[in-house]
Amino acid sequence: MEIMKQLSKCIEQRHIELEKMKNRGSKVVGILGFGYTPEEMIFAAGAIPQRLIRGGDRESLDDSREYCHNCFSTFHKAQIGYLMKEKDPVYNLIDHLVLESGDEHSELTGMYVYAYKPMPMTWLGIPGDTEYSGAFPYYLSSLEKFKKELEKLTGNQVSQQKLEEYAKLYNDIRDLLGKINDLRKAPSPPISGLDYVKLNHASFYCDPHEYLALLKQVYEELKLRTGVYTKDTPRIAVFGCPIAVGDYRLLELIEDAGAAVVTEEITGSTRDCKTMTSIEGNLMENLAQRYYSKKSKDVYKYPWREELLSVYSGLVDDFKVDGVIWYQLMYMEAQSMLGYVVNKRLKQRGIPAMTIQSEYDFTSRIEAVKTRIETFIEVVKQSKSKRGNRNG
Amino acid sequence: MDSYDKLMEICGFEPDEVVEYKPTLKQGLKKLLVTEKDVEFAITERLPKCWSIHLKGIRKLLGCWLREYIRIAIPEPGEARLCHTYFVQPGMAYLHPIKLADPTIQIGLPDVVASLVGSAFFNVGWKYVEAAEREGCAVEQITCSLNKIRYGLHVLGIVPRADVSIGFHTFCDDAPLVDQLIREWDGTEVCNPYRVRDIHFTGDPFDEENIKYFADSLRDGHRQLEELLDIKITPEYQAKARELFVNLSATIFAPMTGFMKADPVPLNANDLAYALLPVATAFDTGYDRIFEAEAILQAEVTQMIAEGKGVMPKGTPRISWRLLHSWGCPWLVPMCHELGLAADFEEGFLLGGGQLMKSVEAQMEADMYMMMAKQLAMVSALGTSLEYLYKTTTDHIAEYSIDGLIATSYRPCRCWTAHSHILAKMLSERSSIPCITPDLDIYIDRGDFPQSRMRTVLETFADVVKRSKEKKLKAASKGGN
C-alpha cells in the first residue's frame, strides 16, 4: 500500500517535524512505559507526546553497557542506549520524560537516567493491585499531578475543552484501528501482521490529525481488498514482549515461512483500541478510567486472575488462531513467566505454542531462528489439517 | 555420635534435646533433600569455618534457624493451615498477629529460611532453584534465586500447598510474579500487598501519599488473610505483635548493632545476620529460644569487647556490604578475613544516625500499618530515593568507621544491581571510599560465581582498601601534628 510508505516516512522524518514544532515553542514529552500515559493530556497542554518505543538494533544495547548491567530487559536497555548516546534524533529532542511505574525495568531506566543524564521527569504512579479500592484514586491523583507539571512546563492550562477535543480525536483513531484489526478476523486477512503493527506504530509518531486522515484511507482501501492469504495459511498469534518500532524481524520471518500473523498482544507496544474515553462529564476522570481499565489485563497486575489469562485464549478464539509464538525478549522475566503459563494452557487446548527468545540478535543466528520458525509452522499446518480447517 | 548428633551439638542443642529432636531432624532433612554427605559438609566445612561457633550464643542461634528450616517441611502436628510469605520485610509485625489469631496456622518464610540454612549450612539451595527453573523460571531469563527457592520448594513437593502465600510487591516484581507461578502450580492462594514505586530520586522517603497507599494495601492484605484463613486479626493481636517487635528491637537490635562499633569487631558478618534477622523474621518455632540465645551471645560479646578480643585484630580495615552480605555464600567472610579485611558489616542492619532517627519516627506511628510502611520506606537498600540511599550509606560508613564498601551486583535482582552500580558511581564521584560491585549470588552457592574469581577480585580490593586506609591515617596524623 502506498499509504504505508507515507507512514514509514512519517516515522523516519519525525525528528524534523519535532524540531519544527520545538522552534515554534512546543515542548516534547517523552513517554517511557506501556501505554498508561494519556497522550490527550499532553496535547491538551500544548506539548507533543513521544512514545519511546524504538528498538531492534544491537547497537543501542551495546551503547547501554556503559550504564547498566547486561541482565536488564532488552527493550529497556535499548531505551537507555538511545537516551544516553544521543544517536537517535527523536530521543535527543525530549524536554521532559514521563516514567510509568509498575514494572521494575521502566522504573530502573528512570534511575539510570537520573544518575547519568538527568532531565526533568515525572513519575506516574500506576498501582498494579487493581482490585484494591484505593488503586484507581491513586492513579487519578497521579494524573492530576502530571497535569499540573504539564501546565508548568508549557505555561498553558489543560482545559476541559482541549481534553475533549483530543479525547474525541484519539477515540476516532482507536475506533478505526479497531475496525482494521477486526478485518484480520477474516479467513483471508487483507493486511499482513507486519503491516498492521507498523500501521499501529505510526500512531506513536505521526501528527494525530494527519494520521487519522491516512487511517481512513487505509480502512476504505482494506475493506475492498481481497485477502492476501489462502484459506490454508496457518494463522499465527504473536504474544509476549514489546515489539518495538524497528524490531520487525520476527514478524517478517513468520510471514516468510508462509504463515499469517493475525493478532498480537505484545505488552502495550501497540495502541490499545478496545476501550474508548467517555466524553460526558469530567474528562480527567474519564481519561483515567479509560487508561486504567486495561491494567487488570496487564502482566504487571497482581495477583494474576483469569481476566489476564483469558485475554490470550480470547484472542486465539476470536482470530481463529492455529498456533502461537511467544516473543520473549531477554531478561523480561514477567513475560517469561506469563509465557510459560499461557503456552502451557494453550498446549492443553491442543494449540501449538512455542517461545522465541531474542536480544535483538536474530541477524547473528538467522538460520537457526528461521529453521525453528519454519519447523513450527509445519507443526501448525499438520495440527491444523488434523483438526480440520477452523476457518472453513 | 553420628553426623546428625554432631550437627545438633554445633547448633547448640542440649543433650536431652538431641535425643528428642533427632528423628524430626532426620525426617525433615531428608524431605528437604539434605543428604548425610551434605550434613558432613556442614559440620566439617561450613559451620566451623564460617561462624563463630566457639560462642555458645551463636551455636544456639544456629539451632533456632535449623529448627525453623525443618519446620517449613514438617509442620507441627497441630498446624492445620499454612501461611507462607516472601522475604523478611515488612516482617514479623505483619505476620505475628496471624499466628496470634490462630496458633494452628504455620507462619513460614520458606525462601529466607531455606537460603539461610539450606544454602548456607548444607549448600542444597541450588536443588530448589533448579526445580523452579524447570517449571517456568527460565534459567536464561535470570530471576532472583530467593524466589526460585520458594517456588522450587513447591515444585518438589517439599512444602505442602499453602493456604495462602504473601508476596509483597515492594522492592521488585519477582516476588509477586513467582507467587503467580506457585498459584498456577498447586493452587496456593496469593495475596500481594502493593507498594507503588513512583519513588522520587531525591528527598524524603516518607512521601505521604505513597506511604499511605502502601499502609492501606497492607491493611487490605490483612483483611484478605482474615477471609482466606477464617481468622480475626484483632487490635489486641496487632498490639501484641508490635510489642514483640519493639521488644526485639530494643533487646536485640540496639545492643547488637552497638557492639559492632567496637574495634576489633566482635562478630563476623555471618554471625551478625543470624543474630539480627530474627528481629524482622516471623519465627514459627517461637521467640523464647531466640531471646535465650541472644542473651547468652550478648554476655559473651560484652566479655570479648572488655578483653579487646574480636574476629580480626584491632585496626584491620573494616569493610561493609551494601544491604546484606551474600548469606548463601558464607565462605566469603572467612575469605575476606584471610585477605586481611574485616568484611563483617552490613549496611542493611547497621543503620546510621539519620536512618535510626527515621526508624524511631516510624515506630512512633500510632497506626501499625503506617509504621510498617514507613519502616520499609526507610530501608535504604531498595525502594527508596537514590539520594536518600546515598545519604544513609555515607552515614553508615561514618558511624561504623567503614574503610570500603562491597556493593554486590546480584545479577538476578535488577533493582539490587542497579542500586549498587548507581551508588558506586555516586561514591566514586563524591567520596574517597573504595567501592566494588562484584557479581555474586546472594542466596545460593551454585558455582555460577566461582570462589577463585571472587578471591582475585577481593585480593585487588584488599590492596586498594589497605592503601586508602594508610593514606587516611597518614593524613590524619599529619593533621594531628
pLDDT digits (tens, 9 = 90+) for A26-46: 999 999 999 999 999 999 999
CATH number at residue B322: 3.40.50.11900
- The answer to whether residues B85 and B284 touch, using CB atoms and an 8 Å cutoff, is no
Rounded CA-CA distance A100/A37 in Å is 7
Q: Decide which of B86 and B28 is more confident.
A: B28
- Of chain B, the end-to-end C-alpha distance in Å amounts to 61
CB contact under 8 A, A134 and B417: no
At A392 the pLDDT is 46
Chain B from 112 to 131: CB within 8 A of any A CB: none
pLDDT of B181 above 50: yes
**pLDDT for B278-318, tens place per residue?**
988 889 999 999 999 999 999 999 999 999 999 999 999 99
Mean pLDDT taken over chain A: 95
Handedness of CA B219, B221, B226, B227 (dihedral sign): positive
How many domains does the structure of chain B reveal? 1
Is residue B72 one of the residues assigned to a domain? Answer: no
CB contact under 8 A, B422 and A115: yes
- Of chain A, the end-to-end C-alpha distance in Å amounts to 28
Above pLDDT 90, what percent of chain B? 74
**pLDDT for B432-446, tens place per residue?**
999 999 998 999 998
DSSP H helices in B11-119: 15-31, 36-41, 47-50, 56-73, 92-101, 110-113
Rounded CA-CA distance B69/B31 in Å is 11
Mean pLDDT taken over chain B: 93
Closest alpha carbon within chain B to A358? B141
B167: confidence class by pLDDT, cuts 50, 70, 90: confident
CB contact under 8 A, A108 and B181: no
DSSP H helices in B378-413: 386-399
- The answer to whether residues B87 and B32 touch, using CB atoms and an 8 Å cutoff, is no
Interface contact A111, partner B, CB < 8 A: yes
CB contact under 8 A, A134 and B426: no
Closest alpha carbon within chain A to B209? A138
Interface contact A131, partner B, CB < 8 A: no
Is residue B60 one of the residues assigned to a domain? Answer: no
**pLDDT for B315-361, tens place per residue?**
999 999 998 889 999 999 999 999 999 999 999 889 888 888 888 88
Which of chain B's residues have a Cβ under 8 Å away from the Cβ of A133?
Answer: 220
Is residue B347 one of the residues assigned to a domain? Answer: yes
- The answer to whether residues B133 and B155 touch, using CB atoms and an 8 Å cutoff, is no
Chain A from 34 to 53: CB within 8 A of any B CB: none
Other CB atoms within 10 A of residue B120 CB:
29
Full domain range(s) for residue B334: 309-480
pLDDT of A391 above 70: no
φ and ψ at residue A126, rounded to 5 degrees: -125, 90
- Give the side-chain half-sphere CA count within 13 A for B303: 9
Interface contact B138, partner A, CB < 8 A: yes
Interface test with A, best of B169, B170, B414 (most A CBs within 10 A): B414
CA distance readout (Å), A380 to A229, A322, A324: 16, 6, 9
Q: Which position has the grid cell 495502541? A: A271
ipTM over 0.90: yes
Q: Which of A69, A114, A132 sits opposite B409 (nearest CB)?
A: A69
φ and ψ at residue B326, rounded to 5 degrees: -80, 95
Cis bond before residue A38 (omega within 30° of 0): no
Other CB atoms within 10 A of residue B476 CB:
10
Rounded CA-CA distance B321/B344 in Å is 8
- Between CA B366 and CA B374, with CA B371 as vertex, the angle to 5 degrees is 135
CA-closest candidate to residue A318, choices A367, A267, A274: A274
The reply to whether the predicted model has a pTM over 0.90 is yes
Q: How many CB pairs under 8 A join A and B?
A: 142
pLDDT of B242 above 50: yes
pLDDT of A209 above 70: yes
CA-closest candidate to residue B142, choices B477, B448, B433: B448
At B415 the pLDDT is 87
At B88 the pLDDT is 67
φ and ψ at residue B119, rounded to 5 degrees: -80, -50
CB contact under 8 A, B417 and A101: no
CA distance readout (Å), A300 to A14, A267, A354, A374, B90: 31, 10, 22, 32, 21
Closest alpha carbon within chain A to B415? A108
Distance of CA A68 to the CA centre of its chain: 24
Element (DSSP H or E) covering residue A328 = strand A323-329
Chain B from 155 to 194: CB within 8 A of any A CB: 167, 169, 172-174, 176-181, 183-184, 190-194
Sheet bearing A260-265, strands edge to edge: A260-265, A235-240, A323-329, A353-358
Above pLDDT 70, what percent of chain B? 98
DSSP for B329-354?
Answer: -TTHHHHHHHTT-EEEEETTTS--HH
Compute the residue count for chain B. Answer: 481
C-alpha cell at B317: 580495615
**pLDDT for A75-93, tens place per residue?**
999 999 999 998 999 999 9
B311-331 burial, b if ≥16 CB within 10 A, otherwise e?
bbeeebbbbbbbbbbbbbbbb
- Between CA A205 and CA A212, with CA A207 as vertex, the angle to 5 degrees is 105
Query: What three-state secondary structure class fits A204?
Result: coil
Is residue B442 one of the residues assigned to a domain? Answer: yes
- The answer to whether residues B141 and B184 touch, using CB atoms and an 8 Å cutoff, is no
At B133 the pLDDT is 95
Closest alpha carbon within chain A to B211? A138
C-alpha cell at A123: 513519575
Q: Which of A103, A114, A302 sits opposite B194 (nearest CB)?
A: A302
**pLDDT for B86-145, tens place per residue?**
876 667 889 999 999 999 999 999 999 999 999 999 999 999 999 999 999 988 878 899
Compute the residue count for chain A. Answer: 392
Residue B250: exposed, middle, or buried by beta-carbon count in 10 A (0-12, 13-18, 19+)? Answer: exposed
Q: What is the CATH number of domain A24-159?
A: 3.40.50.11890
Contacts of B48 (CB under 8 A, 6+ apart): B10
Q: How far is A232 from chain B (nearest CA, A)?
A: 33
Q: Which of A111, A127, A333 sits opposite B196 (nearest CB)?
A: A127
Q: Per-residue pLDDT averaged across B461-472, rounded?
A: 95
Interface contact B417, partner A, CB < 8 A: yes
CB contact under 8 A, A336 and B179: no
CA distance readout (Å), A251 to A237, A244, B180: 10, 12, 29
Q: What is the largest CA-CA distance in chain B?
A: 71
Query: What three-state secondary structure class fits B188?
Result: coil
Q: Decide which of A1 and B174 is more confident.
A: B174
Closest alpha carbon within chain A to B386? A111
At B352 the pLDDT is 87
A309-321 burial, b if ≥16 CB within 10 A, otherwise e?
bebbbebbeebbb
φ and ψ at residue A30, rounded to 5 degrees: -80, 140
Handedness of CA A62, A64, A67, A71 (dihedral sign): negative
At B240 the pLDDT is 94
Based on its alpha-carbon atoms, the radius of gyration of chain A, rounded to whole angstroms, reads 20
CA-closest candidate to residue A323, choices A388, A207, A235: A235
Helix, strand, coil content of chain B in percent (nearest 5) = 60, 5, 35
Q: Decide which of B394 and B168 is more confident.
A: B394
- The answer to whether residues B435 and B420 touch, using CB atoms and an 8 Å cutoff, is no
CA-closest candidate to residue A123, choices B201, B299, B16, B390: B201
Q: How far is A354 from chain B (nearest CA, A)?
A: 13
At B381 the pLDDT is 54
Interface contact B143, partner A, CB < 8 A: yes
CA dihedral of A106, A111, A117, A118, whole degrees rounded to 10: 110
Closest alpha carbon within chain A to B220? A132
Is residue B254 one of the residues assigned to a domain? Answer: no
CA dihedral of A222, A223, A225, A230, whole degrees rounded to 10: 100
Rounded CA-CA distance B255/B258 in Å is 5
